[in-house]
Amino acid sequence: MSNAPHHGLITPHGGGALQARYNSDKARELTKEAASLPRINLTNKQSCDLELIANGGYSPLTGFMGMDDFKSVCKNMTLADGTVWSIPILLSVSKEQIPSIGSRVALYAPGGVLQGVMTVKEEFIHDKKMEIPAVFRTEDEAHPGVAQVAKEGDYCIAGPVEAVTLCVDPQGPEAFLSQRLTPAQTREEFAKRGWKTIVAFQTRNPIHRAHEYVCKCAQEICDGLLIHPLVGETKKGDIAADIRMQAIDALVKKYFNPATTMVTVLPAAMRYAGPREAIHHAIMRRNYGCSHFIVGRDHAGVGNYYGTYDAQKIFDEIDQKNLGIVPLKFEHTGYSKSYGGMVSSKTYPKIEGDIVNLSGTAVRELLFKGERPPAEFSRPEVADVLIAAAKAGTLFVP
C-alpha cells in the first residue's frame, strides 16, 4: 500500500515510502467482512484522522497509535522510535466498546458510511491528564481542543487500518473532489510541473492581503506554492469550508500565477493546539511533497492561549533534520499607509496606527452590513464572496 517513486521530491516523513492504507481492489472484500464485525462509530475528528491514515498524509503511521507512541508523543514530541510527531492520533472508545485483542472492527464515519476495518493490536487507558496539558498547554475546557478531548472515550484501541473509502461523502457540499488530492497525487502533479521545492500555506480562513503577501514572498524562493486549506472539522463560528474555498478560488484566479500555484484541500480536523499543531501541519505537508512550510505568528492558535510567536519558536525545540521540511517563519504583516504597501516589522519601521488592521469582530460587522473591508485588508473578490455568504446565512460553521 505504498506510493510510486518520489521523482526527486522530499521523502515522506520518517524517510520511507508513503504508508497509504486504501486499496480500491480490496474495498468490496472489506465491505463484505465488515457486515459481520463489531461496529465503532467514529467522531468527525477520528474520521478525518482515518482519511489521512488511509491516504498517506499521516505517514509513517499505518493506523491509530498504541500506548508507547501516545506516551512518547505527549512527553517527547516523537513517536516511540524517535520520529518527530507532535499530536496524538487516537481511536478513543467507551469501556463497553473495547473489543478483544486480535479481533477486527468496522469503522463507520459519522454519517453512517463504512470507512475502514481495523485489526485491534492493543487497548489502553486514555490518559487525558497527560494528553491535555502536554498538547494544548492548558487544561481550560473553554479551549475547543481541550473540550473535545475531555468528551472523548476513556479507553483507546490501536492497530493498523484498511480503508474502504477515502472520501466518505463524495456528494457532500464540502467534498471538494476535484481538489481533494492524496499525497501521492500532489507529488505526481509536482513532478509533472517540474517542481522540486514547494512551499505549503496552511489556512482555515479566507486569504486576506497579509496572507497573500506572505505566500508571494515564499514563492520567490521556491518552484511552486501549494495553497492547502484545511477542510476537516472546525469549531462553531469559524468560516465554513465551502465559503472559504470559494473565496480562495476567486483570489487565486485573479491574483496568482497559475504556473507556480496549486490549490488543493487538506481533510484534517483542527485541534487548535497552536505550537504543537504547527509541527503537525508541517509533517502532513512533507508527506504531500512540500519542502517548505509557512508558519505564521499565531499558527493554529485560538483565543489568548499561546504567545504571539510560540508556534515558530517550537520548531527550534525539535530535531530539524528529523522533521525534514523547512519552516519559513514570517513576522506580522499588513498594509502600511505611510509606506504605501505591504510590510512587516522586518521590512519597515513600526509606526503607531500605520498598519491597516481589522479585528475579526470588525470584519464580521462590515460583512453583515454588506460593506467591504478596506481594499488594503482584503481583495474585493474575496469580500464579495464573504458578503454574499453573510447575507445568505451560510458564512459560519453552525
137 is catalytic: no
Query: Could you check whether the bond before residue 60 is cis, i.e. omega within 30 degrees of 0?
Result: yes
286 is catalytic: no
Which residues have a Cβ under 8 Å from the Cβ of 35 and sit 6 or more positions away?
106
Three cell numbers at 35?
457486515
- Residue 335 sits at φ, ψ, to 5 deg, of -85, 125
DSSP H helices, the chain, are 27-34, 44-55, 67-76, 128-136, 144-151, 183-193, 209-219, 241-255, 275-287, 310-313, 320-323, 360-368, 380-392
Task: Say which residue the cell 497573500 belongs to.
Answer: 212
Catalytic-labelled residue, pool 23, 41, 76, 205 = 205
DSSP per-residue string spanning 161-217: EEES-S-S-TTSTT--GGG---HHHHHHHHHHHT-S-EEEEEESS---HHHHHHHHH
Q: How far apart are CA 334 and CA 347, in angstroms?
A: 11
Three cell numbers at 156?
483507546
Catalytic-labelled residue, pool 137, 204, 209, 379 = 204
Q: How far apart are CA 377 and CA 398, in angstroms?
A: 26
Give the burial string for 110-141 (b: 16+ CB within 10 Å, else e): beeebbbbbebebbbebbbeebbebbbbbeee
DSSP per-residue string spanning 284-303: HHHHTT-SEEEE-TTTT--T
**What residues are labeled active site?**
204-205
